[in-house]
Structure 1
Amino acid sequence: MNFRQTTLYCFLLIPLLTSAQTSLQQNSAEIKLGIKKLNTVGSALYLAAHPDDENTRLLSYLAKEKKFRTGYLSLTRGDGGQNLIGNEQSELLGLIRTQELLAARRTDGAEQFFTRAIDFGFSKNPQETFKIWDKELILKDAVWVIRKFRPDIIITRFPEDARAGHGQHSASAIIAREAFSAAADPKRFPEQLKQVEVWQAKRIVWNTANFGGNNTTSEDQLKLDIGIFNPLLGKDYGEIAAESRTNHKSQGFGSARQRGEGIEYFAPVAGQPARIDLFEDIISDWKRVEGGERIGELINMAEHDFNIDNPAASVPNLVSILTALEKLKDTHWRTQKVQDVKELIASAAGLWFESCSSQPIQSQNSIVNITSQILVQTDTPIQLKSGNPGDSYTLLKKGIIKNIKSGSGKEGTTNPYWLAEEHPLGMYTIPDEALIGYPENPPLLQTTFTFNINGKDITYTRPVVYKYTDQVRGEIYQPLVIAPPVTATITEKAFVFTGNASKTIQVQLKAFNTSPTRGTVVPKVPPGWDVKPAQINFDFISSAEEKTIQFTITPLGRIESGTLSLSVNIGTQIFNRGYKVISYDHIPLQTIFPLAEARVERIDLITGGKRIGYIAGAGDLIPEALEQIGYQVTILSENQILTSKLSEYDAIIAGVRLYNINDHLNIIQPKLMEYVDNGGTFVVQYNVNNPLKIQNIGPYPFRLSRDRVTDENAQITLLDKEHDVLNYPNRITEKDFEGWIQERGLYFTSDADPKYSRILSTNDPGEKPNDGALIVADYGKGRFVYTSLAFFRELPAGIPGAYRLFVNLITKNKTK
């Protein structure tokens, strides 16, 4: 056995990965389907803007029925959306949605790719989108993926105009069309041609659709019925599509299985139009590859001779196919098909092998203790090649696990490559552009196994992972994490000061080094701030030690908002990373090392009241933000709302999208309205207009529209400057709307009863003013507030004016 650690890095030699898998264990039906797929040398690339934009039914049809190599290029990772399962936002939400996409691809059989574009939230047209996205860089990324993937057809989800319904959607169609031509032009991005060749797809088409009241299909378009049952899988592609789409759990996209006819429509965009079939004039068998005819014959023989009760009998045929493939001059298809047939050989032979670390997290440059296990489960004679002088072989015994111990160290960390650097709005900063396209990091540590199977040496690689047993979930695999020696995690993303009083900042130190580690943590603050002490020493004896340290920060005199940052000094080395874990059962554990920094902001703010009740919605960080400025926040359950004395709360706040997700609203809503009637203040944050659990959100009627203002710098007009919510306890002016992030608001109200006061008006450039972002009504002795303003983004980011206005919304002037 030649056993070593290496870094998977070269895109030209190995296809882009969709997951850090251990040994693939395919059943007989999957092996047979894989043999059939060996005979197809065609590829298709689907391109859109976000996770969930892809047509999973079409992807599964292309990958499993047409047996094309199929990919989905999502320009973004969905970073700007909302989260229905937790409170992660922005980059953290992008991490979750990346893994959800990978789970979807493992279901539908396609591969996953990304550009460096960031989803910055809703935009209304491509012009607005390209003000934030660097169009040329994203086009470059798309061309890079096309030149590597070499699709025969490119399919877009959206058109280039307003029918796309979202500026990023239409921008993705523009990128797709331009990349279709640019990938074939040696004058476009010529630096890529050192590693890839120009590529011209046969055609690019738009996969038209009928949903959301927007029907872009027509009977004169190319039609394809993909509602086909696959007997090897026991499902049709509508069922597979539903399973794939249901992986998008953070978006609440659980889907019912569709069965039977499924018509897809396609309109030509560029290239050679298709008249009767999406794949016409595309040679997708081995005749397209020089020297491929013999390979096709061998694959046909393997398919004909395949014994579903004894897949191991196909090993000799598969080895012959591998030998023939290795002689091909076409490096693209040789690379792809060699990888595929090697995995089929292992599966057919009942060969299982993996490499696991003894610990889930290891410090960079420390020794990783690795156990590799190998098992042969058929009578196929397989020898393990050693790395000893003379390259000796060991015959593996059927049913007997062979264990091999080893150790290795590795530089660097497993922090996601797109989060390694600070980045501007709209674009990740990725210094090493060879990484672009990868859905996640290439494995930092992996092992190489060489087996002699049917007289042929075959080499495999497997990532080093961590495996453990959970009492409820059973055997769990998760990625091996390589960490800095010591991390310093600041407890909040932003610290808000309401005066000149000092605030204690807690920092969680965590050691990952297995040997004793000494060092200092040194804070740095913006001009006008004071921090004490100037440094704190630490002394860890071993890994897994943790300790909490504290710094005191004080605003002094003339101050500026800015960034608190920490450096961890160990000898001559300086580290500046924190530690964050994202854990959900439906995705692998995600561990990242964000920069050890936080925003510090001094706000001219008067607060009123102290006790706040909060009803959790889809997930946000408003409670933590309010605690920053001194409020006592209690998360209220449905039972507490029904049985406790709500009058003890100065205000009650509904979390974002509460009225979309809480099935008990018909029971608790009367109690909340009673609380308002008796003098309470109830603030409801944004909801989408469909579906709503109840229709009457407030004491008087109003509707929710799809209107929104996406320009975070859009002009604000105060319509009722004397209203209490603009004057008590803080005087709100237009200046308070400066510095907001991502958007003003979303799903504004409309058709509000005259009893509501409309407080402000705003609009995107070129649109008419909209007064539905904030409405307030007195009801009985209390106040009801509905706001579509994006407080769930602004408060955690420490935006001063957003704090001032939100405090006013939850503070009723009881002297009136």
Structure 2
Amino acid sequence: MKKGTLRKVFTSVTSIAVLGSLMLPGMSQPASADRGVVDLWKSIKPLTTIASAMNTGAHPDDEHSAMLAYLSIGRGVNTSSIIANRGEGGQNEIGSELGNALGIIRSRELQEASKITNVTLGMLSEQIDDPIFDFGFSKSPDETLEKWGDSVVYERLIRKIRELRPDVVIPAFLNEESTHGHHRAINVITVRAYKDAADPKVFPEHMKKGLQPWQIKKMYVPANEKDYNVAVPVGDYDEIYGASYVQLGEESRFMHKSQGMGRHVEEGSSFNYYKLNSSAKSVKETDFFDGIAFTFEDLAKEIEAKGKDQKVIKDLRNLNKDADEVVKAYPVFADVAREVQEMKADVEAAISDVKASTLDASVKTDLLYRLQVKEDQLNKAGLEATSMVVKVKPETSEIVAGQTVKMTVTVYNGGKSNLKNIQLQLNVPEGWTAKAAGTTKFDQLSYNQTVSAAYEVQIPQNAAEFQVYQPSVVSADVMYQLEGVSGKIRVTPTTQVAVLPAFAMSLSPDATVLNTLKTEEPLPVKVTVRNYSPGAAKTSVALNVPQGWTVTPASQELSFAAKGETKPLTFQVKAPAGTAVGKYTVAAAATSGSVTSKENVQVIEYPHIGRTYLIQPAELKIQALDLQVPTGLKVGYVSSGFDNIDKYLTQFGVNVTQLDTKAIQSADLSQYDTIVLGIRAYGFRPELLSSNQRLLSYVENGGNLVVQYHKPEDKWKPELAPYPITIGTPLIKWRVTDENSKVTMLAPDHPIFTTPNKITAEDWNNWIQDRSAYNPSVWGKEYTELISNGDAGEKEFTGTFLSAKYGKGTYTYSSLVWYREIPNLVPGSIRLFVNMISLKQ
């Protein structure tokens, strides 16, 4: 095993209790040499403790990864991470996906990160377009809870607490003014939930569903080395994992690739600090679990102090001994497997004894929950110790309603334990049928042997389409016996089984503008159709347009020879003269017999998260607006990879050229009327730093250079601009989050506000998510301050939009969030951006 690194892989197998908590079905990973012994240790370490902890956060990557690694895979604590939203409002450092598609990527990354630290993951956001969404930066917990719906997010958090019953809860952030409003909101409701989760009058409907109130024993909040109760030694080095816990935590953070997370940390002592916020017990703090039962022996002593139920006390002490025996047997797989089965038998006996005991109802509920968790952990440990490899293999993972497919469940025994009474069962949704083609029961399974069961699965015509945040629609249960004790494992396919529309249609463009000054020009609409039907198929494709609009041709026929084949069609859509400014929709439909498909299937696939899908209506969004664009305007665009504004400029009638490294370094820049740098371009296009003088010379000789916002860490330096511009810090203070905030044009006669489009107060209406980010705090007197704007109750910024003459040309720096506004076809942002890139004309 390599020092300082965890090269770990997890099978798609998970215990039944944990399966339901995952956001998305698991993805397969390639095998790794150290997989067996490390996975075995990771599975048996939790058997030694009955303690539990929960970390709450707002977004994917908010988890305290080093602390979670220490608790979960270091000490074996049953650890959970509860995250509110899916990061839909953030930026994407690996692709162009934004919004819901980005939320899917970040959710998958979070799931893979949680696997590394063996953490149970829970999401408060439950579906696409959920009320609990990432609406962008917020400065206020009150605004956040208002937008999410206080009662909605609070009910879901209380439900998670009552489901997982953590002894210790740790919100990831403090409720401080310098902190993101989403982070503050999670702190607020987590602190509030400390008491309310134990109150049966709070969300009493939970009890009707079998969830009992739960009193968290302690709550900690982040602290520093000057004022803390517990110092978590995350720098401790674990010889089995070959890394410290902070290094293991960073391994998980590297999975958040869309956010550029993960860092390399040297070996050495380090700590995370936490302060006790609330406690149900008065104890002196040195550890999260001081004064809290940590082992079965601790539980036995608590019950013994009550002077009754000796049988249960004996059971708990037996389990404490069992756990020690399992650990002593490591790393001999067969010995561990035997000890695991013995402990499982004792857990089953304890469950029976607790049910028959005279313990108080609340104590019974608590013991039965902890014993059920242990049974699930033992099932997983049994899987690792027996070296079973269990798979569900569909003949195809992309299916359509009405289709019949074959699926096979296989079990391979890679260990020395002789398994008996093997039973295989394929699980499918209600309404589906799974008919076994042969036997599903086997007397035994010895080393290096495989058994399998084949099923014919019929998907009904009314089958629900794929829902990305729901658990896998297909799973398999494997039952077996070892040492006379039963074991049960649930598995899901290594590739997601997705019910997709028979025909998926992608419209290009998927969003565009209609210039009401040129309604005589038709809009070309390309429809790319993919056949997901099994085999050859035919369909008729048509566009539904707004009343009074026309489309040519009315419909087109397509024939496909095979599944997966794609074919393009082109339609001409024409709006009537006098079309009013506003929003319009063109929708596609593919009809084949009695089946009509109206969706687009966006395939989302990256090596670290596998493949998944976002199914959305196959539509073209059209914004009609009055837009003047100078004839022949030629723009060079330097993309950072974070935006696709250049695509929209082309739709507006601008001649746009993407500038690559060679062009920036050596091309004749004077051929462009304007050069635009995408957001944070200096941080992701290193050639810009060495070529910055070329850009300034381009301006000095008469060019128009537009620079969109940067962070200081994007290698921005004040002297990159012709006259210094310093970005304000802390960054959280230098942004405007209210998209409806009042904007004052400080230089209304400036060409940016007059030519070729006259900008009025109405152009600042209907913006989305934010106004600006990372505003400058200091700038040269040579700049014209174009606008003032700020959030309510705060001092307004005047450096958001700066423009200056430099030599014969113009340099403009803007912190307005163009990359969100323009793809969402905000009219004022489009008109203003066209003016900004037209300054040379």
Match of 1:451 in 2: 480
Contact kept in structure 2, 1:508 and 1:547, CA below 8 Å: yes
Pick the aligned partner of 1:790 from 809, 817, 824. Answer: 817
Match of 1:214 in 2: none
User: Mind listing any 5+ residue stretches in structure 2 that lack a counterpart?
Assistant: 1-12, 126-131, 301-311, 356-366, 425-435
Measured against aligned partners, the alpha-carbon deviations of 1:44-66 in whole angstroms (never above 9, x if no partner) come to 11012112222111111111223
Matched, 1:106 2:115: yes
Cα gap change, 1:235 to 1:414, in 2 (>3 Å) = farther
* Aligned equivalents of 2:555, 2:197: Cα separation in 1: 53
**Is the partner of 2:606 in helix, strand or coil?**
coil
Pick the aligned partner of 2:250 from 234, 237, 242. Answer: 242
Contact kept in structure 1, 2:112 and 2:252, CA below 8 Å: yes
- Residue type matched to 1:356 in 2? K
Measured against aligned partners, the alpha-carbon deviations of 1:416-467 in whole angstroms (never above 9, x if no partner) come to 45xxxxxxxxxxxxxxxxxxxxxx421111222233333344332211234x
Matched, 1:269 2:277: yes
- Residue type matched to 2:194 in 1? F
Pick the aligned partner of 1:489 from 492, 499, 506. Answer: 506
Match of 2:321 in 1: 297
Matched, 1:370 2:407: yes
Pick the aligned partner of 1:406 from 455, 458, 462. Answer: 455
**Is the partner of 2:709 in helix, strand or coil?**
coil
Cα gap change, 1:752 to 1:588, in 2 (>3 Å) = same
Cα gap change, 1:726 to 1:15, in 2 (>3 Å) = closer
Match of 1:426 in 2: none
Give 1:564 shift.
2.6
* Aligned equivalents of 1:378, 1:40: Cα separation in 2: 27
Contact kept in structure 2, 1:414 and 1:441, CA below 8 Å: no
Contact kept in structure 2, 1:446 and 1:461, CA below 8 Å: yes
Cα gap change, 1:27 to 1:509, in 2 (>3 Å) = same
* Aligned equivalents of 1:160, 1:601: Cα separation in 2: 40
- Residue type matched to 2:478 in 1? F
Contact kept in structure 2, 1:638 and 1:668, CA below 8 Å: no
Measured against aligned partners, the alpha-carbon deviations of 1:481-540 in whole angstroms (never above 9, x if no partner) come to 331222122233412112312101112211111155444444333455444444444444
State the aligned residue count: 764
- Residue type matched to 2:448 in 1? G
* Aligned equivalents of 1:9, 1:461: Cα separation in 2: 6
Match of 1:190 in 2: 204
Pick the aligned partner of 1:747 from 749, 771, 774. Answer: 774
- Residue type matched to 1:452 in 2? Q
Match of 1:476 in 2: none
**Is the partner of 1:708 in helix, strand or coil?**
coil
| Larger mean Cα displacement after TM superposition, 266-275 or 92-101 | 266-275
Pick the aligned partner of 2:369 from 293, 316, 332. Answer: 332
Pick the aligned partner of 1:616 from 636, 639, 643. Answer: 639
Match of 1:704 in 2: 727
Match of 2:393 in 1: 356
| Larger mean Cα displacement after TM superposition, 648-657 or 178-187 | 178-187
Cα gap change, 1:315 to 1:444, in 2 (>3 Å) = same
* Aligned equivalents of 2:387, 2:711: Cα separation in 1: 51
Q: How do residues 125-136 of structure 1 correspond to structure 2 at under 5 angstroms? A: 125-136=140-151
Match of 2:568 in 1: 548
* Aligned equivalents of 1:42, 1:647: Cα separation in 2: 67
Give 1:744 shift.
0.6
Match of 1:475 in 2: none
* Aligned equivalents of 1:331, 1:121: Cα separation in 2: 42
| Larger mean Cα displacement after TM superposition, 258-267 or 734-743 | 258-267
Contact kept in structure 1, 2:138 and 2:181, CA below 8 Å: yes
Give 1:286 shift.
2.0
Measured against aligned partners, the alpha-carbon deviations of 1:675-713 in whole angstroms (never above 9, x if no partner) come to 112221111111112342544231111111131111111
- Residue type matched to 2:250 in 1? A
Match of 1:514 in 2: 534
Measured against aligned partners, the alpha-carbon deviations of 1:184-243 in whole angstroms (never above 9, x if no partner) come to 22222222221422211112221225xxxxxxx633544343322222212211211221
- Residue type matched to 2:735 in 1? R
Match of 2:628 in 1: 606
Cα gap change, 1:186 to 1:535, in 2 (>3 Å) = farther
Contact kept in structure 2, 1:21 and 1:462, CA below 8 Å: no
| Larger mean Cα displacement after TM superposition, 340-349 or 27-36 | 27-36
- Residue type matched to 1:338 in 2? E
* Aligned equivalents of 1:415, 1:751: Cα separation in 2: 51
Matched, 1:229 2:237: yes
Q: % of aligned pairs identical?
A: 27
Give 1:340 shift.
1.8
Matched, 1:166 2:166: no
Pick the aligned partner of 2:544 from 507, 510, 524. Answer: 524
Cα gap change, 1:444 to 1:359, in 2 (>3 Å) = same
Measured against aligned partners, the alpha-carbon deviations of 1:324-359 in whole angstroms (never above 9, x if no partner) come to 223415543343222221222222222212122233
Measured against aligned partners, the alpha-carbon deviations of 1:378-428 in whole angstroms (never above 9, x if no partner) come to 3321246357899752433432444554332345456345xxxxxxxxxxx
TM-score relative to the length of structure 1: 0.88
Matched, 1:88 2:97: yes
Cα gap change, 1:648 to 1:12, in 2 (>3 Å) = closer
Q: How do residues 3-152 of structure 1 correspond to structure 2 at under 5 angstroms? A: 16=22, 20=26, 26-116=35-125, 117-152=132-167
Q: How do residues 665-676 of structure 1 correspond to structure 2 at under 5 angstroms? A: 665-676=688-699
Contact kept in structure 2, 1:382 and 1:395, CA below 8 Å: yes
* Aligned equivalents of 1:14, 1:220: Cα separation in 2: 36
Cα gap change, 1:384 to 1:465, in 2 (>3 Å) = farther
* Aligned equivalents of 1:12, 1:104: Cα separation in 2: 15
TM-score relative to the length of structure 2: 0.85
* Aligned equivalents of 2:467, 2:20: Cα separation in 1: 20
| Larger mean Cα displacement after TM superposition, 111-120 or 516-525 | 516-525
Give 1:360 shift.
4.1
Pick the aligned partner of 1:597 from 614, 619, 622. Answer: 619
- Residue type matched to 2:316 in 1? G
* Aligned equivalents of 2:75, 2:376: Cα separation in 1: 19
Pick the aligned partner of 1:804 from 816, 831, 835. Answer: 831
Pick the aligned partner of 1:773 from 800, 804, 811. Answer: 800
Match of 1:422 in 2: none
Contact kept in structure 1, 2:17 and 2:373, CA below 8 Å: no
* Aligned equivalents of 1:171, 1:661: Cα separation in 2: 32
- Residue type matched to 1:459 in 2? K
* Aligned equivalents of 1:447, 1:286: Cα separation in 2: 32
Contact kept in structure 2, 1:102 and 1:112, CA below 8 Å: yes
Contact kept in structure 2, 1:49 and 1:168, CA below 8 Å: yes
| Larger mean Cα displacement after TM superposition, 523-532 or 241-250 | 523-532
Contact kept in structure 1, 2:45 and 2:73, CA below 8 Å: no
Match of 1:760 in 2: 787
Give 1:597 shift.
2.1
Cα gap change, 1:603 to 1:162, in 2 (>3 Å) = same
Match of 1:283 in 2: 293
* Aligned equivalents of 1:515, 1:453: Cα separation in 2: 45
Cα gap change, 1:558 to 1:43, in 2 (>3 Å) = same
* Aligned equivalents of 1:43, 1:334: Cα separation in 2: 13
- Residue type matched to 1:294 in 2? N
Give 1:261 shift.
2.5
Measured against aligned partners, the alpha-carbon deviations of 1:749-798 in whole angstroms (never above 9, x if no partner) come to 23211111111111111112211111111112211111110110011111
Cα gap change, 1:62 to 1:9, in 2 (>3 Å) = closer
Contact kept in structure 2, 1:204 and 1:268, CA below 8 Å: yes
- Residue type matched to 1:281 in 2? G
* Aligned equivalents of 1:187, 1:103: Cα separation in 2: 37
* Aligned equivalents of 2:654, 2:484: Cα separation in 1: 73
Contact kept in structure 2, 1:665 and 1:693, CA below 8 Å: no
Contact kept in structure 1, 2:60 and 2:85, CA below 8 Å: yes
Measured against aligned partners, the alpha-carbon deviations of 1:163-202 in whole angstroms (never above 9, x if no partner) come to 4x21111111111122222222222222222142221111
Give 1:367 shift.
2.4
